[in-house]
Amino acid sequence: MLFFLFGEVESICPFSQTPGGGKQTDIPNLNLGDLDLTTDEFILDEVDIHIQANLEDDLVKEALKTGVDLRQYSKQVEAELQRIEQASIKDYIKESQNIALLHNQITACDSILERMEGMLSGFQSDLSSISSEIQTLQQQSVSMNVRLKNRQAVRSHLSQLVDELVVPGAMISTILDSPVTEQDFLEQLHELNNKINFAKELSFRETLACSDIQDIVDRLKIKAVSKIREFILQKIYSFRKPMTNYQIPQNTLLKYRFFYQFLLANERTVAKEIRDEYVDTMSKIYYSYFKSYSGRLLKVQSHVSPENDDPPTKSAGFFSKPSLKSRNTIFTLGQRGAVLSPAELEGPILIPHTAQRGDSRYPYETLFRSQHYALLDNGCREFLFLSDFFMVAGNSALDLFNCIMGKTLNMFLKSMSTYVSDCYDSIAVFLCIHIILRFRAITAKRNIPALDKYWEAVLELLWPRFELILEMNIHSIRNTDPQKLGVLDTRPHYITRRYAEFSSAIVSINQTFPNERTNALLGQLQVEVENFVLKMAAEFPSRRDQLIFLINNYDMMLSVLMERAADDSKEVEGFQQLLLARTQEFIEEILSPPFGGMIAFVKEAEALMEKGQLDRLKNDEARITQLVRGFSSTWKQSVEAMSQDVMRSFTNFKNGTSIIQGALTQLIQYYHGFHKVLNQPTFRSLAVRSELINLHHLMVEVKKHKPNF
């Protein structure tokens, strides 16, 4: 291994040799670095690593395996390199001409490339100059574009100014010669209005060009105002002709609403003159129309108040004598409630002369509905016209409307106040209240506030009067003396019938727009009527007649109320409870004469059974025997007589039938209790138990006695 290393060193740095092949004695001063074995820094570990790496080489492995002399092998390699070098030199000499030619060609190419570089440098300088010229042109283009835009803007303003300043001949001829109803006149009026406004704007800027057209524009304005004033006043004056439908000229004015706008903007004096003339004319027309219409309506009014000899302040009480001429009294709703139905509420208004010709008569609320529906229809239309034509809104529109309709509305209120002050027809007043409530809802839906204050004023007249009439009836019933009402019988009294019809009428009307004050007054009236019925019943000597009277009156009032009022209303529930209680008491009353002994025994025995003391009746065998045999022999005749008596006592067959059924049911329950008592151990030894009627057989027989109506 050391031999190979030293051989390698000699191959890298060979010593100088003499021609004879001997080695020189002088060793050159070599800096071997890490390979210097004489240095103290030589690291044997690294030498081992290099040696190991060289031994891994394939060529070294082959040489060591074959045993080749490395010195001899090195010499062979050196000789081979010299041979190859000589051959290379010969090849170079052989190709020298080609190499010289290649050199010349490379030199020529170099000169050509040098010329191209010069040309490209020239092109580059030319392009830089062109780029600067393009930038200059771009700046000039931007500057020219800005100047163009400025000139175009100035041109548009100048052209608009010139167009506004120029008064074309077509405008002059149209304004001067064409009728105001032609479309050309309206179009040229718009243009003239624009020029007038533009001239005003220029005058504020002190534009000298404005003075050139001011005179022409002023004269055209004067002419247009004159023609418009004449046209509108002519239309307004046409309203005054008799039998004129003023809605037609109103529609015509709406087509030319710009006329008033032109006047308002350019000649306020004329605009005010036209508005004042319109207000004065329409105020008189509406007042005259509604005054005449209301007077003619009163001629077809029917009088439904009852005839009596009492003072006027009591003419509407429940105690006034009934009229035989008309079944329709002030306490009965009848067909009068139809005035609140949607079909009739917004139906056509009454035509008085047609009604007079047909000899038709109508209650006050129908006339009231017709009168106020005409007011609603005309008022809504008038308010919309004022808002549209005179261009007013809010309080201004309301003030203008009141100027026109105020006199008419005051006439209505005065007439109504006169009627209400002497009116005792509470149903008519209440219907009028609900007509107003519905009309107020209609105007609110149409978004027309013009009549809101009038509706409130009418309600302030009607509500107190209605409450006063109710309170008068309450006091009248409270202070009545039954002994002054003449001979009484067990049939329903006419006062309770009047109350039932009146209460059902008010309750049915009040359902749509409930009023707590009305409900409270009806509650007071019901209490007083209940007390009155009890006072009337007390006039009968026997309890049986008292119960018949109470049941007949309660049943009648309940039947009338249920025809119109809801089943769950307070009035219906109250009388149902009263009727049920008195009916149950009456059943006990009619069962007592024929079956009182058995009923008393059953009640006594059941009470003792609950206490466990039934043995106390053990010695009543004779009594029980009499009860059993007496019931078996007489119950059929007693039931038949009881049924006939009940049917004669009650005017309402349906009510009588239900009472008989209740009595028979109660009888069966008592007899069932009688069976139950006798089945107790205390009475099982009684021989009379065999004579008891079978309960099922009794039920079958009882069913035969139930009346069928």
Residue (of 343, 355, 243, 231) closest to 288 by Cα position? 243
Exposure class string for 201-210: b at 16+ Cβ within 10 A, else e: ebeeeeeeeb
Residue (of 298, 304, 302) closest to 418 by Cα position? 298
**pTM, two decimal places:** 0.68
Identify the pLDDT of residue 29. 52
**Residue 268 burial class via C-beta count within 10 angstroms: exposed 0-12, middle 13-18, buried 19 and up:** exposed
Q: Where are the domains of the chain?
A: 169-267, 336-580, 589-705
Identify the pLDDT of residue 299. 87
The single-letter code of the amino acid at 217 is V
Identify the pLDDT of residue 240. 84
Identify the pLDDT of residue 321. 43
Distance between CA atoms of 56 and 58, rounded to whole angstroms? 6
DSSP state of 705: T
Look at the block and give the residue holding tokens 């006990």. 588
Tens of pLDDT along 22-77?
444 444 454 555 555 455 444 555 666 777 777 777 777 776 777 667 778 788 88
Identify the pLDDT of residue 435. 95
Pick one of 1.20.1280.170, 1.10.10.60, 3.40.640.10, 3.30.56.10 as the CATH number of 336-580: 1.20.1280.170
- Token pair for 508: 């049915």
346, 435 contact by CB (below 8 A):
no
Q: Which residues of the chain have pLDDT under 70?
A: 1-48, 63, 67-68, 157-166, 202-212, 303-330, 565-568, 705-709
